[in-house]
Amino acid sequence: MQVFPCPFCGPRDETEFHFVGEPKARPEPASEISDAEWAEHLWFNANPKGEAREIWLHLTCMEMFAMTRDTATNAVVVSEALTRPAH
């Protein structure tokens, strides 16, 4: 079981976390978005091998944060708070 660092709670077991997705902007305004673009946004991910920046949610404190980790070695590089400074 991996250990992930929550910027607010510290290191916790991976079962406490929910993977939200890759950090990407929702295409807007919606009125100008084609179906193809929307499908691209929903379903197509970079899914890199190696270092990846990902958005995670710590279920026990409900804070979203960005975690950079290596998808090949599972080594966590850094995790950062997104919307407010971590304590």
Partner 1 sequence: MGAAIDRGRPLAFTFDGKPYVGFAGDSIASALLANGVRVVGRSFKYHRPRGVWGAWTEEPNAIVDVTRLARTTPNLRATVEPLENDMAVRSVNASPTAEGDRVGLLDKFAPVLPAGFYYKTFFWPRWEAYEGRIRAMAGLGRLDPNNRPPAENPQFTARCDLLVVGAGPAGLAAAAAAAKAGRVVFLIDDHAEIGGQLVHRGGAIEDRGWFDWARRAQALVLAAGGRVMTRTTAYGVYDGNLVCAWERRMAEPDALWRIRPKRIVIAAGAIERPLVIPDNDRPGVMSADAALVYLRRFGLLIGKRVVIATNNDSAYGVAEALAEAGAKVEVVDTRADGPPCQLKVTRDAAIEGVVAARGVEAVRVGERTHECDALLLSGGWSPTVHLYAQARGRLRYDEARAALIPAGEVENLAVAGAANGAFTLAEALREGHAAGGGEGPAPNAPAGVYRIEASWPKADDQGRRWIDFQNDVTLKDVALAAREGYVSVEHLKRYTTLGMATDQGKTANVNAIAALAALTGRTIDETGTTTYRPPFVPTPMGVIAGRRRGALINPLRRLPLEAEHRANGAQMREYSGWLRPAWHGPDEPERVVQTEAARARDAVALFDGSSLGKIEIIGPDAAKLADFHSYNRLSTLKVGRIRYGFLLAETGVVFDDGVTLRLAEDRFLISCSSGHTDPVRMRLELARQDRFDPARVFIHDTTAHWATLTVTGPRSRDVVEACGLGVALDDKSLPHMAFATATFDGAPLRIARVSFTGDRSYELSVPASRAARLRARLAEKLKALSGGLLGLEALMILRAEKGYVVVGKTGPPCRMTLAWPARAIRGRTNISASAPSSCQSPTTRAASNWSA
User: Is residue 20 a contact residue for partner 1 (CB under 8 A)?
Assistant: yes
Q: Are strands 63-70 and 51-58 parallel, antiparallel or unpaired?
A: antiparallel
Inter-CA distances, 54 with 4, 6, 36, 77, Å: 12, 13, 24, 11
Q: Is 1 in the site for partner 1 (CB under 8 A)?
A: yes
Q: How far is the CB of 9 from partner 1 (least distance, A)?
A: 15
For residue 80, what are the β-bridge partners?
66
**Binding-site string for partner 1 from residue 28 to residue 67, where x marks contact by CB under 8 A and - marks none:** xxxx-x-x--xx--x--------------x----xxx---
Q: How far apart are CA 13 and CA 60, in angstroms?
A: 11
Contacts to partner 1 by CB under 8 A: 1-3, 14, 18, 20, 28-31, 33, 35, 38-39, 42, 57, 62-64, 74, 82-84
